[in-house]
Structure 1
Amino acid sequence: MKIKLIIASLFIGMASNAQQKSSSIDIHGGIVGKLSGSSIPIGIMAGYNYNTGNNTYEFNVLYSKFNDKLNESKSIEYNTIVLNIGYLRTIARNTSNSMAINLGAGFLGGLENIPSDNTVVITSKGGGTVGLYAVGNIDFIITDSVSIKLRGQQNYYILGTTGKFNPFIGLGISFNL
């Protein structure tokens, strides 16, 4: 009888631990970089998140299109696509579990493209870019499987011609798998 109780308690423990792990996919739309000129700098982010309790490991792809001023008179259009790999931690959650605040950081790497029709002479024609990012998320949990996310992310590009700091501020939806 004792052996049956021990085995049952092990299975109950494993089952409760499995319920703490989940994964989700999300998509965000927002603004990247600085507002300059008549064009609105847009960004679209899609990603996969692996959640373990208060920890989230994320894999996101961010596409952005924006103009950046090189001096007062000329601006240049950039297109970037980067992969974000990062870690987020839940730092606050309300008692009804309908809202959570997450902070995190990670690495990014990808490609930047500078269209050839630009009239400004620059030292690079585009190519690879790498960097770091810091992120803050506010999750508004609608149901067990759907949440709305407000995301603020600051990208720091170590290599690349798109400038050192480029923010992304977006609104998105997340679906638990």
Structure 2
Amino acid sequence: MWVGFRINIAMEELGRKMVGRCAGLPLAIIVLGGILATKHALNQWDIVHENIKLYLRRGKFRDQQQSGVSEVLALSYHELPYQLKPCFLHLSNFREDIDIHTKKLVRIWVAEGLVSPMLEGEGTMEDVAECYLGELLDRCMVQVGLRGSTGSIQTVRLHGLM
């Protein structure tokens, strides 16, 4: 029991260090949270922390505030599973100030061949695309635009700097 407690304290301390490197920028902190939400072991958090330092060092000669956000966003893309990267890149076709209808987006991803088929019997390609979109939302790479009366996500939006 005490080992788990020590790991949680270590993760909290490491998390504070990483948030400190985000220069107080909300989007960078939110995206960092999306990265860390998929990491459940202390050694995985250590790797993310080292990557943040590496990415920030790479951009240290640019404007401090812009660099912090840009480098954390670059890391968040780097940390995406390979199957999500084409879908995320496809979102660059949309302006940041518009709502993107989720049903239409899912169909486009399927039609463009951006979705890998799952094993037989595990749902349709649209189901897979919806899972991809859900994962991008969970990682804070896109944000919810509008919800329907049942709470379902009707539209998504890009963050201003994505």
Q: TM-score, normalised by structure 2?
A: 0.23
**Relative contact order higher in (CA < 8 Å, ≥ 6 apart):** 2
Query: TM-score scaled by structure 1?
Result: 0.22
Which structure has the bigger radius of gyration? 1
More strand by share: 1
